[in-house]
Amino acid sequence: MKVEIGSGLAGRERLPTTLFEQAISGNRRSLAKLLTAVENGEVSHDSLGISPREVDGSVIGVTGAPGVGKSCLIDRLLSTWTSNGLKIAVIAVDPSSPLTGGALLGDRVRMESADNNPNVFVRSFATRNQPGGMPNAVVLAADVMRHCDYDVVLIETVGAGQSEIRVVSVADRIVLVEAPLRGDEVQAEKAGVIELADMIVVNKSDLEGSDRAAANIISALEVASNPPPVLLASAKTSEGIEELADQLRTLPAKPGAELARARERLLTAWDSALLSRKDINEVLDSLTSSDNSAQEWVEKNLRW
């Protein structure tokens, strides 16, 4: 389908809207181009004429340490859901280099469904060095995908530690993935995200020690007032995948987490506004070439 670019300023303003219309009608190439504009900050909810999406449980964040099998687990979920007629979108967040700004964007390599399933759309987003490992553009990207009739949007996080809590600024539900034989299952309790997780999945249940890992997590959560459910699953053997897929579609939000979620949404918006300043490079240069500290700059320039 040909994109109507138009001419002059009117054409440039019309292009994102035209892409959005084509994406809604099912044009995957237009959706890909539109998401590039979203990632580059060239469009907004207002310019696309859409309102921020209501929280309905359809945007699910999948987080966990590197090596626990998040991508492979997601691939199994994709196969299960699409076999039942659902359309699924995946946003895979990859870390950017703090020096070059580049990102590998390689998570889709581990998702076979990304290339041969017409009901799956996978898009990688670079963190662009935003604090918390969650680029603010993901909020709009998820809303766009839902408007394009994708039933579920999965967000796979970087998986780099305590900053993973920032995914709550985007996702309606949080799934924390753990694995046996890591020796630090209880360390998840320190990560912050466990306090907001709506479900914990012990992947690689085919390995020895998976039952013990799940038991350790359940034991650690006994002091919590509203502990999330803990499931065993295996991306390798598909054990527990059907149950996981079913529960994720009806997973209730964890009670009492509303304030923490609102806090992370505010911090994400604040960080994005600061790092999007037109003079941000000058600000950074001044901090590296002078005796002024970042705290002093904030106190001097912050206006309430």
Could you please report the per-residue DSSP string of the chain? Answer: ------SHHHHHHHHHHHHHHHHHTT-HHHHHHHHHHHHTT---HHHHT-PPPPP-S-EEEEE--TTS-HHHHHHHHHHHHHHTT--EEEEEEEPPPTTT------GGGG-THHHH-TTEEEEEEE-TT-GGG--THHHHHHHHHHHTT-SEEEEE----SGGGGGGGGT-SEEEEEE-TTSS-GGGGGGSSGGGT-SEEEE--TTSTTHHHHHHHHHHHGGGSSSPPPEEE--TTT-TTHHHHHHHHHTPPPPTT-HHHHHHHHHHHHHHHHHHT-TTHHHHHHHHHSSS--HHHHHHHH---
pLDDT tens digits along 119-171: 999 998 876 555 544 567 888 999 999 999 999 999 998 765 544 566 777 88
pLDDT tens digits along 161-171: 544 566 777 88
Pairwise pLDDT comparison (194 vs 287), residue with the higher score: 287
What proportion of the chain, given as a percentage, has pLDDT over 70? 77
Highest mean pLDDT among 45-54, 139-148, 168-177: 139-148
pLDDT band at 3 (very low <50, low <70, confident <90, very high): very low
pLDDT tens digits along 211-243: 998 998 888 888 777 888 999 999 999 999 999
Residue 253 in this model has a pLDDT that exceeds 60: yes
Q: Mean pLDDT score of the chain, rounded to an integer?
A: 79
pLDDT band at 200 (very low <50, low <70, confident <90, very high): very high
pTM over 0.85: no
- The stretch 3-32 carries a mean pLDDT of 72
pLDDT tens digits along 55-105: 889 999 998 888 888 989 999 999 999 999 999 999 988 764 434 344 444
What pLDDT, on a 0 to 100 scale, did the predictor assign at position 23? 95
What pLDDT, on a 0 to 100 scale, did the predictor assign at position 81? 97
Residue 180 in this model has a pLDDT that exceeds 80: yes
